[in-house]
A and B are shown apart, each in its own frame.
Chain A
Amino acid sequence: MLEHAMVVLQPYSLLTILIGTIAGVAIGGMPGLTATMAVGLLVPFTYTMDPALGLMLLGGIYCGAMYGGSIPAILLNTPGTPAAVATAIEGFPMSQKGKAGLALKVSVVASFVGGFFSVIILLLFAPLLARQALNFGPPETFLLALMGLAGIISIADENSSLIKALIAGLLGMVIAIVGTDDMSGSLRYTMGYIELIDGIDFMPALIGLFSMIQMLELAGMRKKHEIDVSALHKKQRNDPLPKGIFKYIAVGAGTGTVIGVLPGEGATIAAFISYNVSKRISKVKELFGKGNPEGIAAAEAGNNGCVGGSLVPTLTLGIPGNSVAAALMGAFIIHGMIPGPDLFNEYADRTYPFIMSMFIANGVFLIVGLTIAPYLARIALIPPAILVPVVSAFAVLGSYALNNAVFDVFLMIAFAGFGLILKKLGFSLEALILGLILGPIAEGGFSQGMIIGKGSPWIFFESNIAKIMWVLIILLLVPPLYSYWKNTAMVKAPSLDDQD
């Protein structure tokens, strides 16, 4: 462990983490730019870097972006990332009362504690879980992919129906079958394009779906989103942290880490659930929505707690906890490191420094947040007309750089165009990308399992691990299905009353 820690403490590593984290804070602070977009855009460029440094850079961006979204949320009522929406609910009223200094301090301390705690959990539990993965054969691998896909159920929300989320996931899996069939070696659905022999790379898809769509939407906005800058000019007090705030930070850190581990559950959900839990246990419930630092503490610890949590299934089982983790998984794969036990044995000299670098990244944004956060809020004022062409140019460059292929650029544009139609119709893009990533894992496990089982599907139920995994899949499916059913019933109930 000490030798891995020494790698992180090298000047080059520290500089890389510093650059990555500050860039992450800046990107997270720009409304419209998300952590997924930042990591996705930069993955192809780390290809030529030393793998450990490349991963540290991306880890820094992930940690920094998760925190960065809270700065404009508090000062400008403009969440930099969707995960900072709950922070804006409490943070902006505090800024209007002249308490922005306290709100920013609570936000950065909570983010630091949440992030730090989740990385400790990652460091402790990931190697244990990865060791268990050594016992997995093809049937268990197939079930593992199913477990990841079970996350699609929880992606369904008011914007994306359950069936449409499932269709999007299946569409991702169908797209993933393009290319060479591993069983027979024959080509499938390549339509004569040699670029498709190895299948559709998920990086152009990720960049198209999560970066380019955002830019197309920003470009097509007629009305400029008016940002309230009054808090920036107001005299702000710098009060000490309120007593008892760490209870809410602890709630957020724990909730965020657990939610991060679950496939499909992202930082936004983690922040809102942490916020709601803190509201429930608070002694001053009536202050929520009017500028309560307890809400900021829980929400920020929650979304940063998601960082380490989401990497537990990603690094150990190859199941990304959320879309940023999926982009990071892409970085591991392009460096030839397949998630699983090998990451903690063969590639331990890269994986452990990557994990440890996130402790430093949390420390970096703590210092940044305590010193220059109010100045960083101005990043949110960059006009979209400047942001869109710059990000678009990087999207094109990033899609091209991975394989030096213009084909990938057009693939990215096609995913953006088609993805936008799907998004407008209520299909979940997160489910699509999850299907695209987990499709090859599911197919490989299924096909090899069928060979081992001599054509009998019972092979997927035979081993004890398989049985436990089926139970886990059911446990993962039941709560979101129940809450989905409950929400649907609640939506229908008033409409019946209305008819009366």
Chain B
Amino acid sequence: MAKRHLDRIVLVGFAVMAVLLFISTASYPGIAQKTSALYVKFLAASMGILAVVQLGFSIFRDNDTGKLHFTDHMPRFFGLLIALIIFGAVFEYVGFFISAGLFIPVVAVLLGYRNYLVIALTTVSVLAFVYLVFEKLLAVNLPGFSL
């Protein structure tokens, strides 16, 4: 997608959000009408105006036809994103140590690293560090295995 197209979509999104935000203040109860609602209206109006002005600049002045360059390596970028989501989802159920014990080597391999000894040593070191420092020394409450 061209960068300017996504830019315009995002700016339209901000403008729409500003309008919805402004309208939503009508439902603020009692004293909030004279206080918080005014503040939110100010934010919404400022944001809406700026988004429209920037949109105008983008439409009338931006001749950049370049594509949006998100990443050089899509599989690795999205691989990390997906791995993160899975890590976040299972983290509470299987516990930090099992999920991180899988996450770190899987992502390292996904990113093209093939020195398995270094990967294993790094994983064990990180887990040992978290266990000793966070769980034992700082008494941080990490989720444990609960399946």
Contacts and interface: CB of A to CB of B under 8 A. Distances in A.
B94 interface: no
A219 B111 contact: yes
Given A217-B71, A447-B35, A389 B107 contact: yes
Which of A166, A186, A212, A389: most chain B Cβ within 10 A?
A: A389
Interface string A384-416: 111011101100110011001010011001000
A443 B39 contact: yes
A216 interface: yes
Contacts of A46: 138
Interface residues of A, number: 64
A241 B106 CA distance: 48
Contacts of B74: 220
Interface of A: 45-49, 161, 163-164, 166-167, 170-171, 173-174, 177, 181-184, 186, 188-189, 212, 215-217, 219-223, 383-386, 388-390, 392-393, 396-397, 400-401, 404, 406, 409-410, 413, 417, 420-422, 424-426, 442-443, 446-448, 450-451, 455
B35 A451 contact: yes
B100 A393 contact: yes
B32 interface: yes
A443 to B, nearest CB: 5
Nearest to A170: B47
A393 B103 contact: yes
Interface of B: 3, 6-7, 10, 14, 17, 21, 24, 28-32, 34-36, 38-40, 43-44, 46-47, 50-51, 53-54, 57, 68-74, 76-77, 79-81, 84-85, 87-89, 91-92, 96, 100, 103-108, 111-113, 118-119, 122, 126, 130, 134, 138-143
B140 A401 contact: yes
A386 B122 contact: yes
A396 B91 contact: yes
B102 to A, nearest CB: 10
Contact of A219 (B68, B80, B88, B92): B80
Contact of A388 (B36, B107, B141): B107
B127 to A, nearest CB: 9
Nearest to A49: B138
Nearest to A218: B111
Given A386-B119, A410-B85, A450-B35, 18 more contacts: A49-B138, A166-B50, A170-B47, A177-B43, A184-B29, A184-B36, A186-B32, A212-B84, A384-B111, A388-B107, A393-B103, A400-B91, A409-B88, A413-B88, A417-B81, A425-B68, A442-B39, A443-B39
A186 B32 CA distance: 9
13 contacts: A170-B50, A171-B47, A174-B17, A181-B32, A219-B111, A221-B71, A383-B113, A385-B112, A386-B119, A393-B126, A397-B142, A422-B10, A446-B38
Contacts of A161: 54
Contact of A221 (B73, B91, B100): B73
A446 B39 contact: yes
Contact of A186 (B28, B40, B79): B28
A163 B91 contact: no
Contacts of B44: 174
A258 to B, nearest CB: 30
B8 to A, nearest CB: 10
A216 B88 contact: no
A2 B75 CA distance: 58
B34 A455 contact: yes
A404 B70 contact: no
A76 to B, nearest CB: 20
A409 B103 CA distance: 15
Contacts of B54: 161, 163-164, 167
B98 to A, nearest CB: 12
Given A163-B53, A171-B14, A222-B72, A392 B107 contact: yes
B88 A406 contact: yes
Contacts of A181: 28, 32, 36
A443 B130 CA distance: 39
Contacts of B40: 177
Contacts of B30: 184
A446 B36 CA distance: 8
Contact of A392 (B32, B39, B80, B143): B80
Contact of A397 (B6, B24, B96): B96
B63 to A, nearest CB: 12
A443 B36 contact: yes
Nearest to A54: B138
A385 B142 contact: no
A57 to B, nearest CB: 10
A447 B72 contact: no
A386 B68 contact: no
A220 B76 contact: yes
Contact of B31 (A47, A184, A397): A184
